[in-house]
């Protein structure tokens, strides 16, 4: 789609952002009009032998990778540090070691360059990605319904404005991606497990293995995947796991994927009813949004409800720094529109937990 860059004369541009809340080290430079000047993401491989993210390994890997990544990103944009207008970093929620590494790097740069530092809520960044120019065909005007499904998160959120988010429901145990990863482990597939389960599922029958759909049909839009995961484990007595015939494993993978999709669609139906106003768009974000079967079901759901469907490209669905820069830009723009200052969060400590409900305060108080 053609790119038109709106001008924002009052905002410092471009914004360099850092993402280090989990196992991806990322840096990006984005103009206030939403033009991506450079983006780099490094997925850490040190967790593979452990079958999951190890916080201490993640923090050390961010520490090792970030300085060179920041320099490479500046070079890729053809820029000198003094040409940056502001610096942003994910400051929570997430793994505290990695958050400290990224936030301190960003703060150090902001101090040295005498530029504002903007602390970004990682979930807010996922939530606002759909508004990056070119992502949603309608620009995702507020309010919209966001389904965030990743390894760490599984939530339905009413995105009502910058800083204004209503969590309609979320998982009461495992996140969707976590369930994919655990089932992959049970089937002897690698980590991360989602893509491997999806690949194997292509050879299987999604109706072959009866599996429960926890919370399906219940009021609200909370999710639960732990019972589903246990049910899969019960289909796999330990002694046969290693020697499971491929067709049987594929049937289990396909049936599991079908159950997850059924649950998500049911919960979204409830989430839609819980919106105060009709949403303009259905938006999906997070690594699990890469799943082709789930994506097709979401698109069908949106069409059935007369809603445009927006799924950011995969590199912007999974953890990345472009979304962090864009959230900082949206925050600055919304604050300036309200007559408030550009935020400077140099004194803010990274927060392992940082509920979205805290973000509204940013739109009322002058920091």
The answer to whether residues 34 and 132 touch, using CB atoms and an 8 Å cutoff, is: yes
With contact defined as beta carbons under 8 Å apart, do 232 and 252 qualify? yes
**Does residue 134 have a known ligand-binding role?**
no
- Which residue from 11, 22, 37, 329 is in contact with ligand KG4, where contact means CB under 6 A? 22
Q: Is 284 annotated as a binding residue?
A: no
Q: Which lies closer to Zn ion via its Cβ, residue 150 or residue 255?
A: 150
Beta strands 36-43 and 24-30 are antiparallel
- CB within 8 A of 125, min separation 6: which ones? 19, 90, 323, 324, 326, 327
The reply, when asked if residue 291 is annotated as ligand binding, is yes
Residue 26, token pair as written in the block: 């990322």
Q: Is 93 in the site for ligand KG4 (CB under 6 A)?
A: no
Nearest to ligand KG4 of 180, 354 (CB atom): 180
In the structure encoding, which two tokens stand for residue 167, read together? 């969590």
Tell whether residue 319 is a contact of ligand KG4 (CB under 6 A). Answer: yes
Q: Which region, judged by CB under 6 A, interacts with ligand KG4, from 66-74, 77-85, 286-294, 298-306?
A: 286-294
Minimum CB distance to ligand KG4, residue 288 (Å): 4
Q: Give the end-to-end CA distance of the chain in Å, rounded to a whole number.
A: 37
- Tell me: is residue 138 an annotated ligand-binding position: no
Q: Which of 318, 343, 345, 359 binds ligand KG4 (CB under 6 A)?
A: 318
Which residues does 97 contact at the CB level (< 8 Å), separation at least 6? 55, 56, 58, 59, 60, 62
195 binds, among ligand KG4, Zn ion, none (CB under 5 to 8 A by kind): ligand KG4
200: partner contacted, choices Zn ion, ligand KG4, none (Cβ within 5-8 A by kind): none
Q: Does 206 bind ligand KG4 (CB under 6 A)?
A: no
Q: Which stretch binds ligand KG4 (CB under 6 A): 192-200, 207-215, 234-242, 355-363?
A: 192-200
**Nearest Cα to 207, choosing from 252, 249, 246, 261?**
252
150 binds ligand KG4 (CB under 6 A): yes
Nearer to Zn ion, 124 or 319 (CB): 319
Residue closer to Zn ion (CB basis): 65 or 200: 65
Minimal distance, residue 282 CB to ligand KG4, in Å: 18
Nearer to ligand KG4, 174 or 345 (CB): 174
Answer for which of 51, 52, 55, 195 binds ligand KG4 (CB under 6 A) is 195
- Pick one of 19, 174, 181, 330: the residue that binds ligand KG4 (CB under 6 A): 181
Q: For every residue of 133-154, which 3-state class applies, written as one string?
A: CCCCCCCCCCCEEEEEECCCCE
Q: How many CA atoms lie within 13 A of 358 on its CB side?
A: 11
Using the rule CB under 6 A, which residue among 228, 288, 302, 324 binds ligand KG4?
288
Q: Is the bond preceding residue 290 a cis peptide, omega within 30 degrees?
A: no
- The interface mask with Zn ion, positions 146-165, x = CB under 5 A, is ----x---------------
Alpha-carbon 122 to chain mean position: 8
120 Ramachandran zone, left/alpha/beta (phi>0; psi -120 to 50) = beta
* DSSP-derived pairing of the beta strands 117-121 and 86-92: parallel
User: Is residue 319 within the footprint of Zn ion (CB under 5 A)?
Assistant: yes
Hey, how many other C-beta atoms are within 10 angstroms of the C-beta on 108? Answer: 12
| Token digits of residue 307 | 């809603």
Total residues contacting ligand KG4 by CB under 6 A comes to 19
194 annotated binding-site participant: yes
* Cβ count within 10 A of residue 137: 11
Identify the three-state secondary structure at position 229: helix
Token duo for residue 87: 């610096």
Q: Which residues bind Zn ion (CB under 5 A)?
A: 150, 319
Output the known binding site: 122, 126, 148-152, 181, 194, 198, 291, 319
List interacting residues with ligand KG4 (CB under 6 A). 22, 150-152, 177, 180-181, 192-195, 198, 286-288, 290-291, 318-319
Q: Which residues are annotated as a binding site for Fe cation?
A: 122, 126, 319
Residues in binding site for substrate: 148-152, 181, 194, 198, 291
């Amino acid at each position: 789609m053609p790119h038109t860059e709106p001008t924002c004369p009052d905002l410092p541009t471009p914004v360099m952002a850092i993402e280090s809340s989990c196992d991806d080290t990322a840096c990006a430079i984005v103009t206030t009009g939403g033009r991506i000047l450079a983006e780099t993401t490094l997925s850490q491989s040190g967790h593979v032998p452990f079958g999951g993210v190890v916080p201490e390994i993640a923090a050390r890997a961010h520490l090792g990778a970030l300085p060179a990544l920041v320099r490479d990103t500046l070079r890729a944009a053809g820029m000198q540090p003094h040409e940056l207008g502001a610096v942003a970093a994910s400051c929570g929620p997430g793994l505290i070691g990695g958050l400290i590494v990224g936030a301190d790097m960003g703060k150090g740069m902001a101090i040295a360059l005498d530029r504002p530092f903007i602390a970004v809520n990682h979930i807010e960044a996922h939530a606002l990605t759909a508004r990056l120019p070119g992502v949603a065909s309608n620009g995702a005007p507020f309010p919209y319904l966001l389904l965030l499904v990743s390894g760490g998160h599984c939530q339905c959120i009413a995105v009502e404005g910058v800083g204004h988010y209503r969590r309609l429901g979320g998982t009461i145990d495992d996140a969707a991606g976590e369930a994919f990863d655990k089932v992959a482990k049970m089937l002897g597939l690698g980590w991360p497990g989602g893509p491997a389960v999806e690949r194997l599922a292509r050879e299987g029958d999604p109706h072959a293995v009866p599996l429960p759909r926890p919370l399906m049909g219940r009021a609200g839009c909370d999710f639960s995947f732990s019972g589903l995961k246990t049910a899969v484990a019960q289909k796999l007595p330990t002694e046969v796991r290693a020697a499971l015939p491929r067709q049987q494993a594929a049937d289990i993978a396909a049936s599991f994927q079908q159950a997850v999709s059924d649950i998500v669609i049911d919960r979204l139906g409830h989430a839609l009813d819980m919106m105060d106003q009709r949403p303009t768009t259905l938006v999906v974000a997070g690594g699990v949004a890469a799943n082709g079967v789930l994506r097709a079901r979401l698109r069908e759901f949106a069409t059935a409800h007369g809603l445009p469907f927006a799924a950011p490209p995969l590199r912007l669905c999974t953890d990345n720094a472009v979304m962090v820069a864009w959230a900082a830009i949206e925050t600055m723009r919304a604050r300036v529109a309200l007559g408030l200052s550009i935020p400077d969060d140099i004194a803010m400590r990274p927060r392992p937990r940082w509920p979205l409900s805290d973000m509204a305060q940013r739109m009322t108080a002058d920091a």
